Chain A
Amino acid sequence: MDAELAEYVGARWPRLVRAAVLLGCTPTEAEDVVQGVLERCVRKWSQVRRADDRDAYVHRMLVNAFVSSRRRRWRNELPVAAVPARADADATAEVDDADVMARALDRLSTDHRTVVVLRYYAQLSEQQMAAVLQIAPGTVKSRLSRALRDLADDPQLDDLRGIQ
């Protein structure tokens, strides 16, 4: 792996993993999804490097990988004796603003959640989001508008609206 590529992967890793969690992955799933994305980036580095908007290109790969991970059949039907255990969950998490926001994201539809995360966490423009999601810019605007309306109507976020 050349130095530029290693630097890119190292720098993007935490932000991409967190974006995947915000999109709806568990932390472990997120690492796997992002690892797969970055493996493809390494394979296609010359293509990624030449991309007009490298971050939009990688986020498009991330969203595609996330959607594919939701479709995997074996994940849907797995007999287990108990609710699957997760080693990295923080059972002592306090209820705070971050938790309230995370739960508000859970209540959004997948489409709305995706546009909120891409716009307000990944900081993509509406044009970039249109390219990432392969939809018209107008559709991005309408999804974003509906998502923001849903968040505005969410009573659990009432206390956070005036936050400084």
Chain B
Amino acid sequence: MTDDILTELLERAAERIVVGPAPLTAIERGARRRGHRTTMLAAVAAFAMAAAVTGGVMVTRHHTQTPGPTHQVVKHPHQQTLGPDAVQLDGTWVVRALIGQGGRSVLPVKDQGILRLRFHDGRVTGSTTCNTVTGRYVQSGAKGQDLRFLPNSLGTTLVGCQDEPPLAEELLQVRHLSAAGGQVYLHAANWMIVIGLSRLDPH
């Protein structure tokens, strides 16, 4: 097999992979989040070093003076104000549908109306019938239509259960959201619905 043939075959294999447009907003926000995390880690490291040098923990007095011009309020990326048309996720939702491969439901009948997802302050908590899923999410886009659960932050308890709905796996597929008829739908990159939600309480 020549180099050209190998290149051509790899190009053909690659062309089969459907890729959406680059999520520029999410990338920009993620970069800011990484910067914020780096700043926090540096501050913690500096504090730890100072504590090690002085041989103890330093306690500072609480000052009430007005911050100087160099002070900035650092907002988490998800806290950016979404437009008035954006779907507001904060609150508790009932998982009405979990759609898997080929459009089939992966929500067992016994779990219908039981699964919950709670969105608050950029964090999501979900409960299946026996495990808890936690993580962070970023909602972005001009109308808040892009939603991504950050894979590095998403974790689950590991109680072994039978017939447990694959909530964490489904959350990792989500890239977009939409609302219709009082329900919110979370979509995969190809806009296929993967999760259907209805609100349990306002906030």
Residues of A within 8 A of B (CB): 1, 6, 9-10, 13-14, 17-19, 21-22, 27-32, 35-36, 38-40, 42-43, 72, 74, 77-82, 84-91, 93, 97-99, 101-102, 105, 116-117, 120-121, 123, 148, 151-152, 157, 160-161, 163
Q: With a CB–CB cut-off of 8 A, which chain A residues contact B14? A: 18-19, 21-22, 121
Contact of A27 among B35, B100, B106, B189 (CB under 8 A): B189
Q: With a CB–CB cut-off of 8 A, which chain B residues contact A105? A: 13
Given contacts A79-B161, A87-B190, contact A74 B156 (CB under 8 A): yes
Q: How far is the CA of A91 from the CA of B35 in the complex (A)?
A: 40
Q: With a CB–CB cut-off of 8 A, which chain B residues contact A79? A: 131, 158-161, 164
Q: Residue on A with the closest CB to B159?
A: A79
Q: How far is the CB of B176 from chain A (nearest CB, A)?
A: 11
Is the CB–CB distance between A31 and B158 below 8 Å?
Answer: no
Q: B30 near A: Cβ within 8 Å?
A: yes
Is the CB–CB distance between B155 and A74 below 8 Å?
Answer: yes
Is the CB–CB distance between A35 and B9 below 8 Å?
Answer: no
Given contacts A1-B28, A10-B22, A87-B194, contact A43 B13 (CB under 8 A): no
Q: With a CB–CB cut-off of 8 A, which chain A residues contact B16? A: 90, 93, 98-99, 102
Contact of A121 among B11, B160, B162 (CB under 8 A): B11
Q: How far is the CB of A23 from chain B (nearest CB, A)?
A: 11
Given contacts A87-B100, A151-B1, contact A13 B21 (CB under 8 A): yes
Given contacts A87-B194, A160-B1, A161-B1, contact A81 B27 (CB under 8 A): no
Q: Residue on B with the closest CB to A102?
A: B13
Residues of B within 8 A of A (CB): 1, 3, 5-24, 26-28, 30-31, 33-35, 99-102, 104, 106, 108, 131, 148, 151-152, 155-156, 158-166, 168-170, 172-173, 175, 188-190, 192, 194
Q: How far is the CA of A50 from the CA of B105 in the complex (A)?
A: 50
Selected A-B contacts with CB under 8 Å, 26 pairs: A1-B27, A10-B22, A14-B22, A27-B189, A29-B151, A31-B175, A38-B27, A40-B31, A79-B158, A79-B160, A81-B162, A82-B106, A85-B99, A86-B100, A87-B101, A87-B173, A87-B188, A88-B18, A88-B188, A88-B192, A98-B13, A101-B10, A120-B3, A160-B1, A161-B5, A163-B8
Q: How far is the CA of A18 from the CA of B106 in the complex (A)?
A: 28
Q: With a CB–CB cut-off of 8 A, which chain B residues contact A97? A: 9, 12
Contact of A84 among B151, B169, B188 (CB under 8 A): B169
Q: Residue on A with the closest CB to B16?
A: A98
Q: How far is the CB of A150 from chain B (nearest CB, A)?
A: 11
Q: How far is the CB of A87 from chain B (nearest CB, A)?
A: 4
Q: With a CB–CB cut-off of 8 A, which chain A residues contact B9? A: 97-98, 101, 160, 163
Q: Residue on A with the closest CB to B33?
A: A39
Q: Residue on B with the closest CB to A13?
A: B22
Q: How far is the CA of A34 from the CA of B65 in the complex (A)?
A: 44
Q: With a CB–CB cut-off of 8 A, which chain B residues contact A102? A: 13, 16
Q: With a CB–CB cut-off of 8 A, which chain B residues contact A90? A: 16
Instruction: Give the 4 A-B residue pairs with the shortest CB-CB distance, closest first.
Output: A85-B100, A13-B22, A87-B188, A42-B31
Is the CB–CB distance between A151 and B189 below 8 Å?
Answer: no
Q: With a CB–CB cut-off of 8 A, which chain A residues contact B7? A: 120-121, 123
Is the CB–CB distance between A120 and B1 below 8 Å?
Answer: no
Is the CB–CB distance between B166 and A80 below 8 Å?
Answer: yes
Is the CB–CB distance between A36 and B21 below 8 Å?
Answer: no
Q: Residue on A with the closest CB to B1?
A: A161
